[in-house]
Amino acid sequence: MKATQSEFFVGYQHSAPPTLGRFLIRWVVGLLVVAIGLAVALVMAQRPFDPGVFEYGVVRDFEGILREHPVPALEVARPEGAESVSSYLLVAPGKHGAEEWVAGRNGERVRLRGTLIYRPGMAMIELLPDSLESRSDARRDNGAPQAISDVTLSGEIVDSKCYLGVMKPGRRKSHRACAVRCLSGGIPPILVVEIATGGQEQILLVDRAGGPLGPSILDYVAEPVRLSGRLSQQGEHWILATDPSDIERILPVAKEGS
């Protein structure tokens, strides 16, 4: 009878009976371990943090050579030498390309102001309106892209501006509507190819003549696709010349018994 009374807990007492106290401690510790384990599992299950950067509100000065084709770009000499350059894609503010800004000015040395958008492997400048000015009458011919080979690649078509850092996420189904509007406004499309060893490769997409693909690719945005075309390289950029007829959706593999 005394043992039973000694294990009886009274709320105004300073401590619980030993047996009940040990029981509660084990349960509390166990619940804490489970909670921490669930938190770690949820974190590990998340996709890696998107590395894209949009320097919103930061305006920089740039000077270099304008490239009109295959997509608007600016070549800027690196400090290590005149023959070493960094190539930045050019876009206008909002969901608009920069074709009208650079039309007829291929090879011209210019100065401009804009905001950087970048992620590993590719960078872009959002032009500040009316900041583009000529620095020299002399023009430099960069020649045509250097053809590599005919290839077939699998990946996802995205709009380059959002993917490089303006939006997070800037790809997949959740971003489809925005990507369609950006591509319709002239933002250059790119094919994101997952590399087996990790990471991604970004490849600019143009038509077989080296011009814009236009609205013909909108139905394939944000879906797994397979493309065939001629792969080439111009400066830092990989370029795939393709045609909508050479694009096919990659259908999910049906599970057995379904």
Tell me whether the CATH fold assigned to 53-139 matches the one assigned to 146-249: yes
Q: How confident is the model at residue 205 (pLDDT cuts 50, 70, 90)?
A: very high
Q: What percent of the chain has pLDDT over 90?
A: 27
What CA–CA distance (Å, rounded) separates 196 from 187?
A: 28
Residue 60 pLDDT exceeds 90? yes
pLDDT tens, residue by residue, 216-258: 888 888 888 999 999 998 888 899 999 888 888 887 654 555 4
- Among the CATH numbers 2.40.50.140, 1.10.150.120, 1.10.150.530, 3.40.1390.10, which is that of 53-139? 2.40.50.140
So what's the pLDDT on residue 1?
Answer: 41
Count the helix, strand and coil residues of the chain and give each as a percent rounded to the nearest 5. Answer: 25, 40, 35
Residue 199 pLDDT exceeds 50? yes
Give residue limits of the domains in the chain.
2-38, 53-139, 146-249
- Among the CATH numbers 1.10.3470, 3.30.70, 1.20.1070, 2.40.50, which is that of 146-249? 2.40.50
pTM for this structure? Answer: 0.75
Mean pLDDT of 77-104: 84
With beta carbons less than 8 A apart as the criterion, state whether 152 and 227 touch: yes
So what's the pLDDT on residue 62?
Answer: 94
**Comparison of pLDDT for 235 and 109, the residue scoring more:** 109
Residue 89 pLDDT exceeds 90? yes
Q: How confident is the model at residue 117 (pLDDT cuts 50, 70, 90)?
A: very high
So what's the pLDDT on residue 5?
Answer: 52
